[in-house]
Amino acid sequence: MRSFAIASSIAAVAYASPSVETKFEEFIQKFERKYTDNEKAHRLKIFKDNMAMIEASNSQNKSYTLGVTPHTDLTLEEFKAQFVGGFIPMKAENMTMFEKPVGVDPPDSVDWVKDGAVTSVKNQGNCGSCWTFSATGALEGAMKVAGRDLVELSQQMLVSCDTGLLGGHGCSGGNPAQAFGWVKSNGMCSSADYSYKCVDAKADACTSAKCGKDTCTPVLKKGGFFHKGDVTAYGSVGQSEGELEAAVARQPISVAIQADTAVFQHYTSGVLDDAACGQQLDHGVLAVGYGTDSGHKYWKIKNSWGPTWGDSGYIRILKGSTEKYGECGIREMASYPTVAPKPASEIVV
């Protein structure tokens, strides 16, 4: 009887905790991986190493949880090379600086996702185009706040067309604030009209993509000598917590962070406050709110690594950090666009 009880206990533990090999097979199915035999053995070894790190981190009962993401079969170096590095810093010269209005206290919490000013989570793939997703997200939010319809805008238009001397560099990176200026002068089409081609940056669909800004119907109209466009201005945000908080309370804001760490590779939930998250900006994302969870103040961030990464594509980052520019450098280089309300002639009564 005692042997049977022990065997039953072992079986129960095994049932409760699938082996790493089982988790790897589930990972392969979920993310539709196709490996050769040799590659599969190599990826299993990496997966095991990552799972050991994940379990060690979670055992410390931190304010965040790590787990299996689309990147768990990659080394940290591979993850950094493929998915981080698309943000190019730019000095805030000749831009309006948003500062917290005197005497105005922002609400205790904000969530633009719940308020209907944020579109679906996208996947940039291995193209360094995070700057275009950050920029279009801020433009989409600004449209909604201005009373316009929420329309998913085209990242590919920026990847293929915003390439002038002072422009972006497609899959090699760019800056959201610069992109706002380009849209102000050139307009912007919807993603339905001008779809994204660069989930695989090396695929023919991406490498052969040409600028087709004159072949689609602009959702945001460009400005000219005799008329203003729909994007009327763009600016940067002051670097204090209060200034970014006040800015996010008005609309979703483009921000940059350092994301080349293992905690970003494997994040699944909670409020990230890991000391490994530094101040070297390398990834553009979208601040869509803030709040407090179990005593931890946080910024709510929309990422562009697809809905199967993180918390359904989102991450919450510590708010109120003593770091110079906040956790992960989030307060250093925030920017935003201003969109005009829909013209009276276009309003359907």
Active site residues: 130, 283, 303
Distance separating the N- and C-terminal Cα atoms of the chain? 79
Sign of CA dihedral 260, 277, 179, 346: positive
Using an 8 Å Cβ cutoff, are 287 and 330 in contact? yes
Structure tokens at 234: 């763009």
* Pair 97, 238: CB distance under 8 Å: yes
Q: How far apart are CA 288 and CA 249, in angstroms?
A: 9
For 243-277, the three-class secondary structure string (H helix, E strand, C coil) is HHHHHHHHCCEEEEECCCCHHHHHEEEEEECCCCC
Evaluate whether 92 touches 180 at the Cβ level (below 8 Å). Answer: no
Distance of CA 1 to the CA centre of its chain: 56
Amino acid code (one letter) for 179: A
Q: Please enumerate in sequence order all residues whose Cβ is within 8 A of that of 320, keeping only pairs 6 or more positions apart, or say none.
A: 241, 297
Closest of 54, 13, 99, 94 to residue 265, by C-alpha: 54
CA–CA gap between residue 306 and residue 116 (Å, rounded)? 19
Beta carbons of 314 and 291 less than 8 angstroms apart: no
Given a contact cutoff of 8 angstroms between Cβ atoms, the answer to whether 57 and 66 are in contact is: yes
What does the alpha-carbon distance between residue 26 and residue 16 come to, in Å, rounded to a whole number?
Answer: 15
Which of 234, 322, 212 lies closest to 275 in space, CA to CA? 322
Q: How far is CA 189 from CA 171, 183, 224, 278, in A?
A: 19, 10, 17, 35
Q: How far apart are CA 326 and CA 220, in angstroms?
A: 33
